[in-house]
Structure 1
Amino acid sequence: MAEKVAVVTGASRGFGFAIVKGLCKRFDGIVYLTARDEKSGQAAVKKMNELGLKPLFHQLDVSDRASVQKFADYIKTKHGGFDVLVNNAAILEWDQVYPTYEAAKRNIDINYKSLLTIEEYLFPLLRDGARVVNISSACGHLSNLKKQKWIRMLQDPDLTIEQINSFVDEYLESVKNGTFNKNDFADDGKHAEHRVSKIALTALTRVLQNKYADRNISINAVHPGHMKTDMAQGGGEVEPEESADLVLYLILDASPKLKGTFMWNDKTLIDWCDAEADFACKGLW
């Protein structure tokens, strides 16, 4: 029987690093620490080795199709498939509360559109019973939106990837042509680009779960809390290791029947479609 394999993206530091550390301690198999920058990735593996942990490293830039394809080819050749995927790689440029089109596109390309490439190349390699965890945030709940057209579309149980893309592209076009409306979002539309990318990621979680329902794969999204990482402006409230425990729960302990859900950082299952709920990200900028 093939040895089990886990892959964590964006894992050279912070939250991804903590997830890899937890997996190395608890996961019965090979753990891949991946990162865009090879030097920082190798340095992270060295830190793990000093802790007595033995992850493997592979370069992976999720925003680069060729890089994702190369990694997929490696996994297929080396292992034939894999069992755990944590989509953690993400950015947030704090200095632009109302970003330029270029900054907004960067965020969405990495935080959301990269998952479309990952699905294309890596999902075919997921083995029966695999677990996928998409790292969302409070910005990823539907209550971050106020525009009813978007809300109604994203609530549709038969939502498609094409519809998610149309939502994302409509936002980007509004930034590009100067018609962006703060009132379409919670909290005066601050960092709307991040809200859009994480809402799209969480919506995609639901779509992919439906798409792969017949393959016994569990795909869930999680809000890990406001963590003390480089991405948290002014420092967060939760240690990355604490939030990593939540991801480990979804990978190792949760029922395989838990599929297509949005889990809050206290393990509560949240109704993602409830746009009137009070889960929107506010006051963190």
Structure 2
Amino acid sequence: MMNEKVAIITGASRGIGAAIAKLLAHYGAKVVINYANNKSAAQEVVESIAAKGEEAIAIQADVRNQDEMEFLVNETISQFGKVDVLVNNAAIHFAMKPLSEMEWDEFRPKLEEEIKAAFIATKSVLPIMKEQKYGKLVFISSSLSHQPMPNFIAHGTAKGALNSFVKYLAQEVGPYNITANTVAPAMVETDATKHTPAEQKEQVAMFTPLGRIAKPEDIANTVLYFASDQSAFVTGTYAPVSGGTEMNN
């Protein structure tokens, strides 16, 4: 499904990103594990992929830094010769509080950095994808962009902006045989939610038609579809991975 494809996954040292990297590698992709700080975790992902006879490398880069992302892409080209897939997954921290208790300088960084990360990462791979007349761009959003919850206003608003960015991008790059799609998880069992009270997780599971919260592998399976040629005529879409809590009209 992904034979000989080269995929860059940002924020891939753990959680959803690591699950995506392992799955794409399992299906034949050569994978670049991008990480910001956690080199040992990134190396563990590389080693787990290599142990199965699959190919992966880890490259440090801040997705918000143009020079570092250009370095990452140049290293990818030098190792693997091309870039077919970019999965924009790196997490951007945000202030968790209601608007009434938040200052603009707490609200603004999430909006700016979320879009800056997507903007810079995308621009770093676009020239290559345009030249080869092929590319798969996948962006990890959140169901909170459509379904508000208390204290997530900065996160949800930033992800809403990301959703719009992807639609405009899909229209612009379509003539080059490049697709751009959004995958939007609901609550996922990762490090980011390990401090979420068990009662809250149980409540979410109770209101989920499929009766549980997501695992990283659930998100990875959907990303695999958008990263592969199975989705050759699908672009500009928003795909909720929510167990049925978010049903599009």
TM-score category of the 2 structures, normalised to the smaller one: 0.7 to 0.9
Query: How large is the RMSD of aligned CA atoms in angstroms?
Result: 2.8
Residues 1:93 and 1:231: Cα distance change in structure 2 (over 3 Å): farther
Does 1:139 find its partner at 2:144?
A: yes
- Partner residue, 1:250: 226
Deviation digits for residues 174-231 of structure 1, max 9, x if unmatched? Answer: xxxxxxxxxxxx456x321111210111101000011112101111001123110122
Q: 2:111 aligns with which of 105, 108, 118?
A: 108
Q: Is the 8 A contact 2:94 2:154 kept in 1?
A: no
Unaligned 5+ residue runs, structure 1? Answer: 145-185, 272-276, 278-285
- Partner residue, 2:31: 31
Residues 1:208 and 1:95: Cα distance change in structure 2 (over 3 Å): closer
Cα distance in structure 2, aligned partners of 1:203 and 1:30: 29
Cα distance in structure 2, aligned partners of 1:108 and 1:43: 31
Q: 1:82 aligns to what SS in structure 2? A: coil
- Partner residue, 1:161: none
**Identity over aligned residues, as a percent?**
27
Which aligned pairs between 1:55-134 and structure 2 lie closer than 5 A?
55-93=56-94, 95-98=96-99, 99-126=102-129, 127-134=132-139
Deviation digits for residues 64-97 of structure 1, max 9, x if unmatched? Answer: 2221121123234444431111101113446545
Q: Is the 8 A contact 2:9 2:33 kept in 1?
A: yes
The letter for the 2-side match of 1:192 is: I
Does 1:241 find its partner at 2:217?
A: yes
Residues 1:76 and 1:270: Cα distance change in structure 2 (over 3 Å): farther
- Partner residue, 2:241: 265
The letter for the 1-side match of 2:116 is: K
Does 1:231 find its partner at 2:236?
A: no
Q: Is the 8 A contact 1:131 1:251 kept in 2?
A: yes
Q: 1:205 aligns with which of 134, 142, 166?
A: 166
The letter for the 1-side match of 2:137 is: V
> What TM-score results when the alignment is normalised by the length of structure 1?
0.69
Does 1:4 find its partner at 2:8?
A: no
Deviation digits for residues 94-135 of structure 1, max 9, x if unmatched? Answer: 654544444433323432221111222221122423211110
| Aligned positions, number | 226
